[in-house]
Structure 1
Amino acid sequence: MYVGIDVGTSTVKAAAFDGSGRELAVAARPVGLSMHGGFVEQDMDEVYGAVVAVLEELTAEVDGPFELAGLTGQGDGVWLVDAEGRPVRAAASWMDGRAHELLDRWLADGTFETVFRRTGSAMFPGCPGPLLAWLAAHEPKALDAAAAALYCKDMVFQRLTGARATTDVSDASMPFLDPRTRSYDNGVVELLGLTRRRGLLAPVSDPVATAETRGEGLPVGTRIANGPYDLPACALGAGVTEPGDGLLIVGTCLASLVATTELDLSGEPAGLYISLDRPGHWLRAMPAMVGTAALDWVLSTTGVRHEEVDGLLAATPPGANGVRVLPYFAPSGERAPFVEPRLRAELTGVSLESTPADLIRATCEGIGYAARHCLEAAGLTGSLAVCGGGTRSPAWMRLLADVLGRPLRVVEGEVGARGAVLAAAERYGVPLDTGVWTRPTEVVEPDAGRAAFYAKGFEDHLARLAAARHRSR
């Protein structure tokens, strides 16, 4: 048996798999987010405690030892730890918006574009560059007390194993890693005013680091591999490895990924190139800030339960009776396929005749249009897989197929945890049949008539978005 650990933004999960990739058991525990005044933070001890708890639950449920474990988790943010991996302060989440004024300045003076041309990373407020620069200016004592500025999974790996703090090429891709040399670009560090703090950047382990666990959550001596982070782990778990093929992750973050062997740092700076364990291979990533989080907010606001979504999507026609949503709900604006730190969501076309069903369909359509925008910008030419919490709604999957105008290879279950196991198996030389492990649950075909309707709707979405971007500046 194998175990995959996925340390998500709102939920920590661990899944057990047999040798053919069959999911045997899953344990999950929610973790909190503190949001105040644009700050979005997480308690590292709570996150790590949730990891230990789900592993203890999982090992109690399944019978037999694990051959190895794979670890993945949310990317970006800043997780400051001391030499023992203990928190120096709360983790600043990838959703954090405190550095938006700093990013505004870098957008205006050309720093933002220069960094993209060198590393393929379009910075956003919640990535380590702006966050570390903000902390250097406002909380220098926190940086003084830290031994490393890690990513989420790296903190968990260090505490599970006691190994030296390191990261991998995927997490390091934003924003300091040169994708050609696979090492930190010290010129970018200097450009962001962080030369004095260069020592906080964790060494890049290439390939991913391995170690044995110390006995918290998993038995002492369990082999574990650290990485890649959740976006590339999901691509592995969904079988997206051939150039041109793509993956849409309908989760808290709406992430669009396309496998590529071409590194093109021209064009509008947006998204990033995620370096993979195979040199010369990248994921062109357009990770929009808000996916299911936008629908969650609408459901909470309207008092509608998740289990009612499918019925309500069927209760109103395509176009939601004229209600339209620009789904840019994140406190830090948007980061893909463009960067607008001050962009906010917009709801239009509402009247006294509008229903909760109209609002929910309009939100799902808006998220679909945002996904289409990202996938086209990322260069999708092949097949498209889809995973994440949104796949639990068959009606939403049919709507997405129509909005995107293409078949969806739906991959259900704990796809990130599955990819973490596959990465660990590759690292340890354990042969697993990836074709069997990544087989889709179903394929959802678009309806030709609805797809044509949504193709026109997408053009309207782009026009409304252009106007909203202009107003946000």
Structure 2
Amino acid sequence: MRPRIIFCLDSGTTSVKAAAFDLSGRLVAEVERPNDAMRRQGDRVEQDMPRTLALAWDVLRSCAKKAEGSPEGLVLTGQGDGLWALDAAGAPVGPALTWLDGRARGMVAELEKAVDRVEAITASRPTAAAQSLQLLWLQRHEPDRLARIHHALRLKEWLFHELTGQLVGEPTVVLPLWGNWRTGALSRDVQDALGLDRGIELLPEMKAVGEARAALTSAAAALTGLPDGLPVLMGPGDVQATLIGIGLGTRKEVSNASVFGTSAIHACLRNDPDGMPETPRGAMIQKFVIGEGYLCVHPCFNGASLLSHLADRFANLPERVAPTRSGIVLHPFMAPGGERTPWTEPQASTAIFGLTSATTPEQIAWAGREALAFAARTSHDMMGTGEGALALGGGLARDAAFAGFLATVTGRTVLRSPTSHAGPRGLAAVAAKHLLGASNEDIADLWIGAPEERVQPATGPEADYARDKFDLFRDTLADAARHWTRLAALGAMNDPDTENDREIA
């Protein structure tokens, strides 16, 4: 008898993945392709939409062939922020503006009072990655293109449309930009505050996760190798899917989680988000989609991509490095949009203190990892959720040395699952809940499972070093932050987009 299968699609920044799980939560097939649809040119970070769709068809078709089971459903997610625009006929209006695009960052400072008003409405401050500011950038610089837009979507909403023919969104990823998590309602006041000609009228109909579902079309079935009419479920954003997959809200001992992929995500689960000691302006609050409570999320632009940027700019940096103590302090802000959390500043930039001619590549490489751990501690201190375990996911979960330093810096047990395929596994758990009616116990035991390793904080000299280095990181960051705006102004002198913004203002 052929096993019954749940298929998952995760169209990410670095790669596009499809996975198949049987109904006992066992991974039976997976396919991953590099995301070669991304196009980078300075602050402009776009994605070719037809190529993105071709990658999705490819991984699903290949996964369906490998799984050799009886499909029960398909659940999908994709990159969170960004603008994936369609015209009246449902065709792409140029390339997508991704969550990494930094063209709108100059407007954040220019529109400070307007952005303050939006933050008061949504409880989350817009950044250069915000769909609202990306629409405003088009309104100023490419009005003809904006006029052709009839639907402003995110990646997963567009993929859902291509799979089912239905235009649907789900509120967990939309409300932090266009509404209020407390009321669950979208607000036209957001676009009015920013001076947007059009805003929420471009968004698709909102349905909660579990209700945002439709049948696979015959055309999509032919392209994916999946059966015509298969139930297709829109999952939460890739962030929430991954957090679920590494145990937040699903493993009882986990109170906090950090994911280090291209970006970094730090989060906790709370019944009352207002109880956090401190909430940075770029934080998000999302309703938890498979249980009670709210995910409190610090989405950072700068994650493991920091290490790639450092390797591009310093010769001979090792890809793997053992813990290497040094007097170097590094600030992890190399993304073109600055930083979103726990420091919300579009002009944030990297600084390195203590660099000398005697500095080794190993010291620089390890200082980058230290910086990511220090940012994680800052976020978790702000969330203040007690002393439960910290679940670690993303590419850096495979780095045992980093996991150990993160445990020491945060003072928490770190649960490491480097081969758990967290994003697809979290999606499969969502499908198990909403398509199969799985209990919370079954989700924890079957679909998530136990972590592969528990890492305890170090004591003695290692703990002393981590504490002192964190204090130095915090103090130098406070000093450097005073100069970010002036540094950005100098760097923008020859940026034509910035000059155009200045003339329009």
TM-score of the pair, normalised by structure 2: 0.87
| Displacement of 1:41 | 0.7
| Displacement of 1:289 | 0.7
- Percent identity, aligned pairs only? 30
Deviations 1:351-392 (A, max 9, x none): 222111111111100111111112222333232111111112
Q: Which runs of 5 or more structure 2 residues have no equivalent in the other structure? A: 486-505
Superposition CA RMSD, Å: 2.1
1:409 to 409, 412, 415: 415
Question: 1:282-361 to 2 correspondence within 5 Å?
Answer: 282-302=294-314, 309-310=319-320, 312-314=321-323, 316=324, 318=325, 321-361=326-366
| Displacement of 1:276 | 3.3
Contact 1:85 1:155 survives alignment (8 Å): no
Higher RCO structure (Cα 8 Å, ≥6 apart): 1
Q: Distance in 1 between matches of 2:237 and 2:90?
A: 18
Question: 1:418-437 to 2 correspondence within 5 Å?
Answer: 418-431=425-438, 433-436=442-445, 437=447
| Displacement of 1:279 | 8.9
Contact 1:325 1:366 survives alignment (8 Å): yes
Q: Distance in 2 between matches of 1:9 and 1:289?
A: 12
Deviations 1:73-92 (A, max 9, x none): 11011110135543111111
Q: Distance in 2 between matches of 1:80 and 1:115?
A: 22
Deviations 1:13-49 (A, max 9, x none): 1112222322222211112322223111111111111
Question: 1:84-233 to 2 correspondence within 5 Å?
Answer: 85-107=90-112, 109=113, 111-163=114-166, 165-194=167-196, 196-208=198-210, 209-214=212-217, 215=221, 216-217=223-224, 218-233=226-241
Instruction: State the secondary structure of the residue aligned to 2:176.
Output: coil
Q: Distance in 1 between matches of 2:331 and 2:34?
A: 28
| Displacement of 1:234 | 1.3
| Displacement of 1:94 | 0.8
Q: Indicate the residue corresponding to 1:35 in structure 2.
A: 40
Relative to 1, partners in 2 of residues 1:18 and 1:300: Cα closer, same or farther, differing over 3 Å? farther
Q: Which runs of 5 or more structure 1 residues have no equivalent in the other structure? A: none
Residue 402 (structure 2) pairs with residue 396 (structure 1): yes
Query: What letter matches 1:313 in structure 2?
Result: A
Q: Distance in 1 between matches of 2:208 and 2:343?
A: 30
Q: Indicate the residue corresponding to 2:453 in structure 1.
A: 442
| Displacement of 1:129 | 1.7
Instruction: State the secondary structure of the residue aligned to 1:337.
Output: coil
Q: Distance in 1 between matches of 2:270 and 2:110?
A: 32
Q: Distance in 2 between matches of 1:145 and 1:470?
A: 41
Contact 1:127 1:174 survives alignment (8 Å): no
Instruction: State the secondary structure of the residue aligned to 2:346.
Output: coil
TM-score of the pair, normalised by structure 1: 0.92
| Displacement of 1:187 | 1.6
Deviations 1:103-123 (A, max 9, x none): 11232x2x3233223212121
Contact 1:411 1:440 survives alignment (8 Å): yes
Contact 1:95 1:332 survives alignment (8 Å): yes
Contact 2:290 2:430 survives alignment (8 Å): no
Residue 285 (structure 2) pairs with residue 273 (structure 1): yes
